[in-house]
Amino acid sequence: MSTVDLTARIPNNVDLAEDKRLLRALEQWQPNYLDWWMQMGPTDFQTRDIYLRTAISVDAEGWAHFDYVKMPDYRWGIFLAEPVADRRIGFGDAMGQPSWSVVPGEHRNVLRRLIVTQGDTEPASVEQQRMLGHTAPSLYDLRNLFQVNVEEGRHLWAMVYLLHRHFGRDGREEAEELLQRRSGSPDKPRILGAFNAPIENWLDFFMFTMFTDRDGKYQLLALAESGFDPLARTTRFMLTEEAHHMFVGESGVERIVQRTAELMKQETNGDVRALGGIDLPTIQKYLNLWFALSLDLFGGEISSNAASFFAAGLKGRYKEESYPDHLALDQSYRMSVLEDGRVTEVEVPLRNSMNEVLRDAYVEDCQRGVDRWNKRLQEAGLEGRLSLPSKRFYRHIGLYAEQPFDVDGRLLGKPEWERRRDEWLPTEADRAYIASLQKPVREAGKIANWIGKPPRGIKGLPFEYEYVRLD
């Protein structure tokens, strides 16, 4: 068992006190991080007491502590999951060799890139969500937003630790740049598309935490297989926190759907907007948007990068141990490609299809969530259903990028696609309507009209609990 030092300026279970140089470097980065947090983190609310969970150990039981904290006082720490004795590389060309505790020279640049790309998403999402505190539908939701935000901040710490500890001067420079890029900035944007898209309202937020945080889960799961052991151990612990972010999204949309179902039954014409709710077609459009943006995060369907990450033992598959073969050399993956304006099927070598293999696992997981939402509609005796659009719809990366596929995956002509775009994606009018609903509810136990109450609160407390103290 590694010991946890909770009293240090930077709480950690990586013996930071033993490595003075590293400690000094991280202590120099810490004030810059706090400056970034105050500038780009949640606007206002920084002096408020919020009922937050803080990671204090890596035990499966009792790894977190719950109490009122002001966000700037949150104890952002560095925690790696416990090492696995005699851990071996589980896939690729180095299969069976001992995992690496230091970065192998030949993989240095690629590993740094993988870590920076993951690290960049963490502060990006905090920036995207910074205005939402002003319009939270309840104190419970406000608290969940801030919980997600402080933990994304901790995930940045997790990646910055790896950069400082294992990548020398380059790593320190990358760590600085992680604080300098800005979501949505024209000249210094965040690295990945979905992390530059605006999160304007709480429907965006719940779809983001459902679909985009779930991409994060699959990227972390693939990195948790990595032959670079510190990365595997870091991401394994991050997954513990990530589960709550996806819960926020999945249950948030579920509560909207439930409220919508109630209102649909009240209003005989089914005009949910007349009653101040969010109609199913609008929910579907936001779902389409964030699902498509999140699919892009997995990268191209056919990818030589993905093949070399796998070959090198850097990034594995979701649950790699569940596959009978870990070399993936003689197999192929059947996928649809666009050839001369027609969709045809081709066989692609499996290693080159690793992004698609991971994306499939992700889509299956998303479908499970959508099924759950649909159960609420079914229980209400309603006909309407939500669905995932085709993987080809509204893509910006890969084989289907910028091609006019509809939500059923049919290839249309560009003019028809443009004409029908408003059937599938939020329009200005939809956005204006959702914006009109964004009025804060700040009384404990109360909730906005367009969303249902959660069945339970946080850590065994009731929904009515004062999760954020505003006076």
- Binding footprint of Fe ion on the chain (CB under 5 A): 122, 152, 155, 213, 242, 245
For the bound state, the minimum distance from the C-beta of residue 297 to Fe ion, rounded and expressed in Å, comes to 13
Q: What is the 3-state secondary structure (H, E, C) of 19-79?
A: CHHHHHHHHHHHHHHHHHHHHHCCCCCCCCEEEEEEECCCCCCCCEEEEEECHHHCCCCEC
What's the chain's Rg over C-alpha atoms? 23
The smaller minimum CB distance to Fe ion, of residues 245 and 359, is found at 245
In three-state secondary structure terms, 396 is: coil
Q: What type of residue sits at position 188?
A: K
Q: Give the angle subtended at the CA of 46 by the CAs of 41 and 48, to the nearest 5°.
A: 145
**Contact status, residue 116 vs residue 159, Cβ threshold 8 Å:** yes
For the bound state, the minimum distance from the C-beta of residue 122 to Fe ion, rounded and expressed in Å, comes to 5
Q: Provide φ and ψ at 161, rounded to 5°.
A: -55, -45
For the bound state, the minimum distance from the C-beta of residue 56 to Fe ion, rounded and expressed in Å, comes to 18
Residue 3, judged by CB atoms within 10 A of its CB (0-12, 13-18, 19+), counts as exposed
List the end-to-end C-alpha distance of the chain, in Å, as a whole number. Answer: 42
The smaller minimum CB distance to Fe ion, of residues 239 and 275, is found at 239
**Contact status, residue 245 vs residue 148, Cβ threshold 8 Å:** yes
For the bound state, the minimum distance from the C-beta of residue 212 to Fe ion, rounded and expressed in Å, comes to 8
For the bound state, the minimum distance from the C-beta of residue 128 to Fe ion, rounded and expressed in Å, comes to 12
Tokens 């710490």 locate to 157
Give the list of residues 6+ apart from residue 97 with CB closer than 8 angstroms, or none.
Answer: 88, 89, 227
- Residue 13: DSSP 8-state: S
For the bound state, the minimum distance from the C-beta of residue 245 to Fe ion, rounded and expressed in Å, comes to 4
The smaller minimum CB distance to Fe ion, of residues 213 and 356, is found at 213
The smaller minimum CB distance to Fe ion, of residues 152 and 279, is found at 152
The smaller minimum CB distance to Fe ion, of residues 155 and 376, is found at 155
Residue 426, judged by CB atoms within 10 A of its CB (0-12, 13-18, 19+), counts as buried
Give the list of residues 6+ apart from residue 209 with CB closer than 8 angstroms, or none.
Answer: 148, 245, 246, 248, 249, 250, 252
The residues with which 49 forms a beta bridge, in sequence order, are 469
The smaller minimum CB distance to Fe ion, of residues 242 and 301, is found at 242
For the bound state, the minimum distance from the C-beta of residue 261 to Fe ion, rounded and expressed in Å, comes to 28
For the bound state, the minimum distance from the C-beta of residue 214 to Fe ion, rounded and expressed in Å, comes to 9
The smaller minimum CB distance to Fe ion, of residues 229 and 242, is found at 242
The smaller minimum CB distance to Fe ion, of residues 220 and 468, is found at 220
For the bound state, the minimum distance from the C-beta of residue 213 to Fe ion, rounded and expressed in Å, comes to 4
The smaller minimum CB distance to Fe ion, of residues 245 and 259, is found at 245
For the bound state, the minimum distance from the C-beta of residue 133 to Fe ion, rounded and expressed in Å, comes to 17
The DSSP result for 147-178, as a single string, is HHHHHHHHHHHHHHHHHHHHSHHHHHHHHHHH
The smaller minimum CB distance to Fe ion, of residues 130 and 245, is found at 245
Distance CA 88, CA 335 (A): 32
For the bound state, the minimum distance from the C-beta of residue 194 to Fe ion, rounded and expressed in Å, comes to 12
The smaller minimum CB distance to Fe ion, of residues 128 and 135, is found at 128
> What are the CA-CA distances from residue 15 to residues 28, 291, 444 (Å)?
18, 40, 42
The DSSP result for 416-432, as a single string, is HHHHHHHHHS--HHHHH
The smaller minimum CB distance to Fe ion, of residues 208 and 393, is found at 208
Distance CA 175, CA 28 (A): 11
For the bound state, the minimum distance from the C-beta of residue 67 to Fe ion, rounded and expressed in Å, comes to 21
Count the residues in the chain.
471
